[in-house]
Amino acid sequence: MEAGKVSNEARDTCRVAYIIHFLLGVGNLLPWNAFITAVDYFDYLYPTNHIEKVFSVAYMVSSVVVLLVMMSWGNWSKTTLRMRMNLGFSILGLRQHQA
């Protein structure tokens, strides 16, 4: 930075961005780890079936449906970046709240 210029950069003094990303990551990984540990339990109950395939397909189908709805919903170039980010985080929060 040149001498005499003031930086307009926002500073995260309380590490709020780090905490938010950490919580989003934990909220995303804990349900997935619950699926993984449930696979062992259901594999014990039903030894002749391939339970891990059912769990992974069920998880991915819900994600693909949400992705297709978002892609076909409208023209994304008319929306602002802020609206797209808020919508994405809202859907992620709702999805994790249901899990």
Say how many C-beta atoms besides its own lie within 10 A of residue 32's C-beta. Answer: 12
b/e per residue 33-50 (b: at least 16 CB within 10 A) = eeeeeebeeeeeeeeeee
Q: How far is it, in rounded angstroms, from Cα 70 to Cα 84?
A: 10
- Place 94 in a pLDDT band, splitting at 50, 70 and 90: confident
User: What distance separates the 2 farthest-apart alpha carbons in the chain?
Assistant: 73
Quick one: DSSP state of residue 6? P
| Residue 5 forms part of a structural domain | no
| Residue 67 forms part of a structural domain | yes
| Residue 75 forms part of a structural domain | yes
Residue 48's SS3 state is coil
* Domain hosting residue 58, numbered range: 16-98
Look at residue 95 in the predicted model and tell me its pLDDT.
76
Count of domains in the chain? 1
| Residue 3 forms part of a structural domain | no
pLDDT in tens, 5-43: 666 777 777 888 888 888 888 887 887 787 778 878 888
